[in-house]
Amino acid sequence: MTVEKIPDSFEGKGEVKGILFERFHETENCYVYFRSDGNYEVFRKKTTPLCIDFENKIYSQDRVKEVYPKSKDFGKWAWTCKSSASALIKAKELVG
């Protein structure tokens, strides 16, 4: 199975437009990203099948892409932390 990973760094869109995101830490099942506004986002790794034909809604059988959480996902499988220390503690909780 081929997995398309979330980039190491990128600029936010929509509600987070203009905020830069930089991967700070990664474990087998979660990511921690530093935001240019000083916060950290911790979230479980999740994947979805890669769409190969949007018009006909056809999805790949052997390729998936990781997804970044949306606003509605925070508090469920994603969290915002104010410091690197609290972000790493949360990431450690997700490993267990």
Report how many helices (DSSP H) and strands (DSSP E) the chain contains, helices first: 1, 8
pTM for the complete prediction?
0.88
Mean local confidence (pLDDT), 53-78: 90
Evaluated on CA atoms 23, 70, 93, 40, the torsion sign reads positive
Mean local confidence (pLDDT), 47-71: 88
Mean local confidence (pLDDT), 62-85: 95
Residue 11: CB partners within 8 Å, gap ≥ 6? 17, 18, 19, 20, 21
Evaluated on CA atoms 79, 82, 85, 86, the torsion sign reads negative
pLDDT of res. 93 = 93
Confidence of residue 26 (pLDDT cuts 50, 70, 90): very high
Domain count, the chain: 1
Confidence of residue 95 (pLDDT cuts 50, 70, 90): confident
pLDDT of res. 30 = 96
- Which range of residues forms the domain containing residue 58? 2-95
Whole-number Cα distances in Å, 38 to 19, 53, 68, 71: 10, 38, 18, 18
